[in-house]
Amino acid sequence: MTSRFAIGETDFLLDGQPHRIISGAMHYPRIHPEQWRDRIRKARLMGLNAIETYVAWNAHEPVKGQWREDGDVDLGRFLDLIAEEGMHAIVRPGPYICAEWHNGGLPTWLTSAGMRLRSSDPRYLAEVIPYLERVNAIVAPRQIDRGGSVILVQIENEYGAYGSDKEYLSELIRVTREKGITVPLTQVDQPIPHMLENGAHPELHKTGSFGSRVDERLATLREHQPTGPLMCMEFWCGWFDHWGEKHHTTTFADSAADLDRLLEAGASVNIYMVHGGTNFGLTNGANDSGRYLPMVTSYDYDAPITESGDVTEKFRAFRDVIAKHAPVPDEPLPEPAEAPELTVPLLTTGDPLEAVATDRGLFDTPPTFDELGSDLVLAEYSAALPGTAGVLDAEVRDYAWVAVDDRAAGILQRTIGDLSLAIPAGAELRMLVEETGRVNYDHKLGEAKGLIGAPMLDGEPLPGPWRVRTFDVPALTQAVSDAAAEPAGARVAGPAGLRASFDLDAPADLFLDTAGWGKGYAWVNGFFLGRYWRRGPQRTLFVPGPATRAGTNEVIVVELETMTDPTVRFVARPDLGHEVE
């Protein structure tokens, strides 16, 4: 059955009748696809009538020309599931999305090409247009006026905080309309006058992003959007975490009161996030507002539905608020369940990096990761030393283990500005450099990674040649699984591959305890859980039940530093760190 969705003088209109959107954000790549329906259904039980999602370009096209829309990035299936649950969908394809996601959703092959990002630069638009055409080919047949779920499509994202190129916005709108999008188009910015003005376009309905001071923010938004419905497109009910900081939470009663105020004012709302999910694999972003801070693997966000799908006190409080303003399903809510607890020792396979190494040759000066290829995460740079001790200075993005003549000399790390190191005399310098997350906000978007320029020894550039090797991190799981193994000792020095097997009676969500581990990556049955780091706050990794199986399962770990407890422990509940409001 088809319907018509439009923007009226005062309200959204569904088949000509006033309609309030009560939506929640969840991002399909952050959820195991076999758990999409569960998370959507729980959002409906909270009283929501819509689901909003970003589209991450780099998840669909990590390598130029190799487009994916299956498995964990099957946007069409995700939108169909929303429709099957009787809900509407809001799609925000960017091309820039922020979202605390790697590179703000832009592929590294794009951002390394030297073009002006998020602008009418013809080189940039030449890449953006085919991307939007592919997304719109998925979205267009799933619009509400064709019997689908999609009621709104957003153009760009918080653009007024970045630029004011109206020609760029016009081109995005043109492509979107020409490729069959007929539902209303929106834009979002924080309700700050210059941002709303910079990001404005006469063909876009303005919405706001904020989490408090509701009356003030709605008043500012109304000044810049004098007609039509008011909408908070991102009602921030929680927050994200960086490595090395505390775990953030918000008081559910305060968030519920702000939500109530929004709904009392007659506004529509999209709760960011209703369910955050997980930065699986290497998808976490980073911020840099004077200090570089990478995101943790969990994107729980203190959302009403937790990373592992439990409903919370915040969920119940929001449901009670929504029930004052709209119908809420009269269905029982699922109770949180503890995960199976297991403990098994790890076996070690030695250094797995050699098995996935590619020799990239010799260079006069160290190339950046971006000059070497797309989405590189680990690379080794080596060069001759003059044989004297000295002070090494290097611009490292983002973390480097330094060795002289195969002896560890120390660590350089960008997050704390520690980019100098006294090194002993020796013949060869080796630096293993890791990218720990690409900036997802503001003008450092797309910055180069790896070594930036030649390192200095006592103020003088180290001469080349530089030998460079790169390492395929996703391939490490198979390398460790295939290698011969032996029992690990009391401590394991990295780089080291480790593995263990465990049995389950049935597939189950699990929480992998990483408290005794240093820094590295973990997989279960080949599913890339993500990064762990002793720095915290996160101490467990979420293992989605569909990644497990009845019978024997395998854990793979690649430890890059030192593991003080070479044991696999699955615990009953997640540990995301000490909470701070």
Catalytic residue among 52, 234, 447, 559: 234
Q: CA–CA separation, 488 vs 566, rounded Å?
A: 7
110 three-state secondary structure: helix
Pick the closest to residue 101 from 404, 359, 437, 371 (CA basis): 437
Q: CA–CA separation, 510 vs 512, rounded Å?
A: 6
Catalytic residue among 61, 100, 127, 158: 158
- Write the CB contacts of 70 (distance below 8 Å, at least 6 apart in sequence): none
Bridge-partner residues for 391, per DSSP? 422
CA diameter of the chain: 80
Exposure b/e, 85-118, CB count within 10 A at least 16 = b: bebbbbbbbbbbbbbbbbbbbbbbbbbbeebebb
Residue 441 near residue 412 (C-beta atoms within 8 A) = no
- Residue 506 sits at φ, ψ, to 5 deg, of -155, 160
Annotate 235-299 with DSSP letters as a single string.
EE-S---BTTSPEE---HHHHHHHHHHHHHTT-EEEEETSB--B--TT-BEEEESSSEEEB-SB-
- Write the CB contacts of 65 (distance below 8 Å, at least 6 apart in sequence): none
- Write the CB contacts of 321 (distance below 8 Å, at least 6 apart in sequence): 256, 259, 260, 263
Residue 319 near residue 328 (C-beta atoms within 8 A) = yes
Q: Is 61 a catalytic residue?
A: no
Count of C-beta atoms within a 10 Å radius of residue 174: 13
Q: CA–CA separation, 414 vs 408, rounded Å?
A: 19
3-class SS shares of the chain: helix, strand, coil, % to 5: 25, 35, 40
Q: Is 335 a catalytic residue?
A: no
Q: CA–CA separation, 565 vs 567, rounded Å?
A: 6
Strands 390-393 and 510-513: unpaired
Q: CA–CA separation, 400 vs 414, rounded Å?
A: 9
The tokens for 357 are 């190494």
- Residue 502 sits at φ, ψ, to 5 deg, of -145, 155
- Write the CB contacts of 182 (distance below 8 Å, at least 6 apart in sequence): 140, 143, 145
Indicate the DSSP class of residue 369: H
Total residue count of the chain as it appears in this document: 581
Pick the closest to residue 250 from 197, 193, 212 (CA basis): 212
Decide: residue 275, CB within 10 A, 0-12 exposed, 13-18 middle, 19+ buried: buried
Known catalytic residues are 158, 234
